[in-house]
Amino acid sequence: MSDFRGRGLSALRAKIAALEADGRADAGVQPFGAPELDQRLPGGGLPLGRWHEVVGTGLEVETSAAPAAFAALAAAPLARRGEAVWVMRRDDLWAPGLAGLGFPPERLIQVLARDEAEALSVMEDALATVGVAAVFGEVEAVDLTAGRRLQLACEKRGATGFVLRRRPFGGTARAEAAGSVAATRWRVASAPSEPAAGELGLGAPRWRVELERCRGGRPGAWILEASEAYSWEAGDVAHPLRLVADLGDRELAPAQPATRRAA
């Protein structure tokens, strides 16, 4: 009798495991398409099925404009896999601006959270939802417990999270946890744009991007810009972020063809 019950319990556990694995994506990585950047990331690209931390500098700690733009473009290729959920503490996300950068607004679901705890809770639920490929969350800080919960939610379906460290209403910043389970930590600031050769006016938006911490990778700093050749609607395989300069050696990067591929 005990053997029969043991076999029945094992079968039940196997069914539960199969149900939990149903819909789980093979995470892998998402290359930026620039070797100078990709070679510093484990596996040659942004790790998927993990969550990443993006922070700003100066006033960006409150507005988070540059970090939000970088995170949206880093996640834009994921929109072909499913929906994107943006969890906010302040209702000031401008979807047409994201569309102008190349992010598909029709894939975007916006959620306004009442407080920090609710924002983290919504992020966790969204990451574990079938059909969601990317989740953005504007929060002040993520302690180790919340970070582990976010990671478990990422692993459940293979979704990728982006925590935008933002203090939306000013005031004193919360103390940061001593450690973090984020796969990467990026610091993003706006950079001067440059018009194309022979043209006047403003060029494509640019950002100074620093990879401050990366599990299994190496830090680095670059100037990236929004690729004007990228078209989500046309199924472009290029990444919407283009490398302009590697700040490690201060040399301009060679021009990248608009059709460079990202696996």
Domains of the chain: residue spans and CATH: 25-252 (3.40.50.300)
Q: Ramachandran region of residue 4, left (φ > 0), alpha (ψ -120 to 50) or beta?
A: alpha
The average confidence (pLDDT) of the chain is 82
Q: Give pLDDT, residue 190.
A: 93
Render the burial of 119-142: b for 16+ CB within 10 Å, e for the rest.
bbebbbebbbbeebbbbbbbbbbb
Which one has a higher pLDDT value, 104 or 248? 104
> CA-to-CA distance for 217 and 242, rounded, in angstroms?
20
SS (H, E, C) 180-217: CCCCEEEEEEEECCCCCCCCCCCCCCEEEEEEEEECCC
Identify the pLDDT of residue 93.
Answer: 92
In sequence order, what are the beta bridge partners of 86? 110, 136
* Residue matched to tokens 């969350």: 137
Strands (E), 35-159: 46-47, 51-55, 83-88, 108-112, 132-139
On the question of pLDDT at 15 being above 90, the answer is no
Please report the pLDDT score of residue 261 as a whole number. 41
Q: Where does the pLDDT of residue 3 fall: very low under 50, low under 70, confident under 90, or very high at 90 and above?
A: low
Nearest to 166 by CA among 144, 135, 142: 142
Check: CB of residue 86 under 8 Å from CB of residue 127.
no
Instruction: Classify the C-alpha dihedral 41-42-48-53 as positive or negative.
Output: negative
Q: Using alpha carbons, select from 49, 94, 90 the residue that is nearest to residue 72.
A: 94
Q: Who wins on pLDDT, 131 or 171?
A: 131
pLDDT value at 125 more than 80: yes
pLDDT confidence tier of residue 60, bands split at 50, 70 and 90: confident
Q: For residue 142, is pLDDT > 50? A: yes
**pTM, 2 dp:** 0.80
pLDDT attached to residue 11: 58
Average pLDDT over residues 111-127: 96
Beta bridge partners of 84: 108, 134
Quote the DSSP letter at residue 81.
T
Residue 232 has pLDDT above 70, yes or no: no
pLDDT per residue as tens digits for the range 174-210 = 555 545 789 999 999 999 988 777 777 788 899 999 9
Q: In angstroms, rounded to a whole number, what is the distance separating the alpha carbons of residues 231 and 18? A: 37
Closest to 263 (Cα-Cα) out of 26, 67, 98, 99: 26
